[in-house]
């Protein structure tokens, strides 16, 4: 595997790095403190093509490769995991489904708006009784003539208040289990959609997360994405990309915490010398740096497999598992090495530690990733 970045990949990385430093960093702490969606960032992000990853040029997308996408996600997450989450939900969960499974009329109508940031999408899979067990869907879609009537509730929906459309997974035939799940495109102006209040989360507070309920919500049969009964397959396929996105996000958090801690330990003077001069501190920094580098290798490997058109379920699960747990370890050590200041909001490591924890939970918990990996290594 060639770990040398191409000229285009370097240009994308540096473009995003400059953008987040100038435009995102000044508001990153405030949106977390205020639990506020950064609406002022959407248009500038779209202008840079940050919602166009994984979307064909025919619809305004960039068609940049998977390595470029994880580089962009890492750079975004270094400064604001909330922004990285907003970008990732469009680039890895919603846009790709529309592009692959919607009809041409729908793609032409929806995808340019996704790329421009005018139409943010929401991935609606999790339910009160169907978290890790995604097959336990209770939301139903009942056929009535040329329409389907959707009833049910979804949880943990990213960007729900801003969503212009929802990709909803519902049971069209409960007797068939996972083979009875179907995916639908439900647009915001459909009657019967209700958005709950944003969850009061530990971190990533700039990315609002809400419940979404559907009550006698009628959609045309043409709103079906893919074939009836293939929804579970679509969801699992999509989550491979989602986990790759999450792993890059976790990597960015970990790298940011490492960078901040190296700088702090060089500046912090105790007993007449920087604390970085102490071997005990150095060894902790070495462990942090090594875990970040290992995470990066796994993330890039998964991205390379995706670029090559190879199956990458195991690779994306391993990347997410390791990067998420590395991010938690590294941010906790970062707070520890910052001492009392690390426990305050004066330094960003406090926020990074809160953000890191979510990476072990969303898009499948670490326990679920171990289940996925075990299935592959024991096959």
Tell me the catalytic residues. Answer: 363
Instruction: Provide Rg for the chain, Cα atoms.
Output: 21
Angle between helices 279-307 and 231-267 (to 10 degrees): 150
Contacts of 89 (CB under 8 A, 6+ apart): 120, 121, 122, 123, 158, 159, 207
Give, for 316, the enclosing helix (H) or strand (E): helix 313-338
Q: Which of 71, 86, 215, 95 is nearest to 154 (CA)?
A: 215
E strands within the chain? 120-124, 140-144, 147-158, 163-171, 181-187, 193-195, 209-220, 224-225, 269-270, 273-274
CB 171 within 8 A of CB 139: yes
C-alpha angle 243/245/250, rounded to 5°?
Answer: 90
Per-position DSSP letters for 57-91, written without gaps between them? GGGT-----HHHHHHHHHHHHHH-HHHHHHHHIII
The rounded distance, in Å, linking the Cα atoms of 306 and 282 is: 36
Beta strands 269-270 and 140-144, pairing class = unpaired
């Amino acid at each position: 595997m060639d770990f040398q970045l191409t000229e285009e990949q370097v240009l994308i990385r540096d473009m995003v790095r400059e953008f987040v430093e100038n435009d995102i960093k000044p508001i990153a702490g405030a949106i977390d403190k205020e639990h506020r969606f950064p609406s002022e960032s959407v248009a500038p992000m779209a202008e840079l093509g940050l919602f166009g990853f994984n979307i064909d040029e025919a619809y305004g997308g960039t068609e940049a490769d998977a390595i470029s996408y994880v580089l962009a996600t890492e750079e975004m997450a270094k400064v604001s995991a909330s922004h990285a989450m907003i970008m990732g939900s469009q680039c890895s969960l919603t846009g790709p489904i529309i592009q692959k499974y919607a009809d041409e009329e729908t793609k032409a109508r929806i995808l340019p708006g996704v790329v421009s940031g005018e139409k943010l999408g929401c991935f609606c899979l999790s339910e009160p009784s169907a978290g890790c067990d995604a097959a336990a869907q209770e939301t139903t879609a009942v056929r009535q003539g040329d329409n389907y009537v959707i009833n049910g509730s979804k949880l943990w929906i990213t960007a729900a208040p801003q969503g212009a459309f929802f990709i909803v997974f519902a049971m069209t035939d409960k007797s068939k289990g996972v083979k009875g799940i179907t995916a639908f495109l439900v647009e915001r102006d459909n009657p019967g959609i209700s958005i709950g209040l944003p969850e009061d989360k530990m971190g990533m507070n700039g990315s609002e997360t809400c419940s979404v309920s559907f009550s006698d919500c009628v959609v045309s049969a043409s709103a079906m994405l893919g074939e009836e009964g293939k929804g579970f397959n679509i969801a699992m396929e999509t989550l491979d990309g989602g986990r790759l996105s999450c792993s890059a996000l976790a990597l960015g958090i970990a790298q940011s915490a490492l960078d901040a801690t190296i700088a702090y330990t060089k500046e912090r003077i105790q007993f007449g010398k920087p604390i970085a001069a102490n071997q005990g501190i150095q060894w902790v920094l070495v462990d942090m740096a090594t875990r970040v580098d290992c995470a990066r290798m796994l993330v890039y490997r998964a991205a390379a497999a995706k670029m090559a058109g190879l199956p990458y379920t195991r690779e994306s699960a391993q990347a997410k598992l390791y990067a998420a747990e590395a991010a938690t370890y590294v941010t906790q050590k970062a707070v520890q090495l910052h001492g009392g200041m690390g426990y305050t909001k004066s330094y960003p490591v406090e926020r990074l530690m809160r953000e890191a924890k979510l990476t072990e939970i969303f898009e499948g918990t670490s326990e679920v990733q171990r289940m996925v990996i075990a299935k592959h290594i024991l096959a």
